[in-house]
Amino acid sequence: MADLPTSYSTGTVTVGAGSTSVTGSGTSFEAAGLEAGDIFWAAGLSVRIASVNSATSLTLAYPWPGAAQTAVNYEVRFTPDMTRALASARELLEELSNGNLSALAALETMANKLPWFDGAGSAQLADLTSQARGLLGGSALSRAGSDYTLNGKLLGTAVTQNDKDTTAGRLLKTGDFGLGVAISLNAADNLDNILTSGLYYNPSATNTAGNNYPPGISGAGALIVVARSSTNVIQKFISYGGTSTASGLREFTRSWGTSGWGPWVEQFHQGSLLGTVSQSGGVPTGKVIERGSNANGEYVRFADGTQICTAIAAGVDAATAAGPIYMHSNLLTWTFPASFLSAPVVAGGGGNAARWLGINAPSVGSVQYRVFSYASSGTLSLPGLTAIGRWF
C-alpha cells in the first residue's frame, strides 16, 4: 500500500509582502486536498492557510512576513486531522474563556425565565410572562421590512382614561380633547367650568340657557379652549352659520385669569361694518356694529341688540275729508329698511306742527299709518317715522 502524501508542491506561486493572498500557476489546490490549517512554505518562511478558495487561490491566516515572491517554488505541508481537530478545539476554548459560557452555566434555569447578560461574563434570569411570550411569538406584533405593526389597541394606564385626561406621559387616544370628533356639549355643561384644552361643540339651542354662552347666542356652535395653566385659559366660540342666531355667523373670545372670566368680546359679525364689540358684566356695550340704508329708510344696529329704523315718508298735502279732524292720506305702509326680531315700537310726526299720525300695530317688517290734522291746509308736509326694537 502506497504511503499517503505529506505535502503538495506542483506549479509555482506568487505572494506579495504583507499580503494574505497566494496565487498559483499550474496548481490544483482543491483537487490535491489542501485544507484550512495546512502549512504554506516558500523562501524559507511558513504561514498557516486560512482557506482554500480555488485551484489557484489560497488565503493565509496571517500576512506574508517576507519579501514579495513571484512565480517561485513552494510547498504545502498537510496537517494531520488530529492536529487540525485539536487546533480547532483550542480556538473554540479560547473564544469561550471570557466567562460568558460559565455565567450561563451557573444560572439555575426554571419555567418562565429568560437569561440576560448584565455585564462581561455575568448573567441573570428575568421573568418571561405569557404576555411577553405572546408578543414575541404571536400575532400581536408584526414586521414588514423596517416597519413594525401593533395588531391591537393599547389599554390600561398607558393611555388617557377619558376625553379630558391631562395625566403627564399618557398616550393620547383618537377622540380625546375633541381630536377627530369634537366633544359634544349638553345642557349640563356650563362654559365657565370648561378649563381644559380641547375642541367642543354645542348641537342645540336648549343647551345655552344659563350656561354663560356669548350674548345673543342661543343655538349650535363650536367652542375652542386653549389652557396653559389653571389661571391662563382662552375660550373662542363660533356660532353655526346663520341658523344659531337671527344675525348670522358670529365669533367671540374671552379669557380666564386670577379674577375669573373676563367678558366675551366679539371679533366677527356676519354683515357688520365694525368687527369688534365687547361685553361688560354680562351686558353688551352699546357700540354700533352695523349701519345701513336703502329705499325704505335708514337703520342702525347696536351690540346690545337694539335696532332703530327711520324714514321720511312721501309728501302729504291737502286734506281729503272735511270735519273737525281732517284726514290727509289713505292707509299708507312703511316697510322697514331692516327687519326686527319682534314687532317694534313705532312713532312719528305728520311733517308740521298741525299734523299727526295714526299708526296701526306694526309687524316685524312693516307698519301702516295715516296723516291727520285740525285744518285742511294744502301745505305739503313730509311725515317722519321711527321704529325701535331688537334685531337679536
Distance CA 99, CA 49 (A): 29
Cα–Cα distance between 19 and 251 in angstroms, integer? 82
Which tops the pLDDT comparison, 318 or 389? 389
Q: How many CB atoms lie within 10 A of CB 97?
A: 11
Alpha helix positions (H), the chain: 81-96, 100-105, 130-137
Same fold, 7-90 and 293-298+307-390: no
Question: CA 332 to CA 18: how far, in whole Å?
Answer: 120
- pLDDT surpassing 50 at residue 241: yes
Note the pTM of the prediction, 2 decimals. Answer: 0.38
Phi, psi of 390 (to 5 degrees): -120, 145
Report the distance separating Cα 14 and Cα 116, nearest Å: 49
> Which candidate, 215, 234, 184, places its Cα nearest to that of 283?
215
Q: Which residue has the cell 488530529?
A: 82
The C-alpha R_g of the chain, in whole angstroms, comes to: 50
Q: What is the pLDDT of residues 93-122, one digit of tens each?
A: 666 666 777 777 788 888 888 888 888 878
What integer pLDDT is reported at residue 378 of this predicted model? 66
How far apart CA 240 and CA 275 sit, in angstroms, is 18
| pLDDT per residue as tens digits for the range 188-234 | 999 999 998 899 999 988 899 999 999 888 888 999 999 888 889 99
Q: To the nearest whole number, what is the mean pLDDT of the chain?
A: 82
Distance CA 382, CA 316 (A): 6
Angular region, 52: left φ>0, alpha ψ -120 to 50, beta rest: beta
Cα 75 from Cα 77, distance rounded (Å) = 6
Q: How far apart are CA 142 and CA 26, in angstroms?
A: 55
| Max intra-chain CA distance, the chain | 165
Distance CA 137, CA 131 (A): 10
pLDDT in tens, 249-280: 788 899 998 888 988 887 776 655 444 444 44
Cβ–Cβ < 8 Å for 307, 313 = no
pLDDT digits (tens, 9 = 90+) for 31-75: 998 999 899 999 999 999 999 999 999 999 999 999 999 999 999
Please give the backbone phi and psi of residue 193, each rounded to the nearest 5 degrees, phi first: -95, 0
Domain boundaries, the chain: 7-90, 101-152, 185-283, 293-298+307-390
Within a 10 A sphere around the Cβ of 115, how many other Cβ atoms? 13
Q: Measure the CA angle with vertex 204, ends 202 and 207; round to 5°.
A: 75
CATH 1.10.3470 fits 7-90, yes or no: no
Q: What is the CATH number of domain 293-298+307-390?
A: 2.60.40.2080
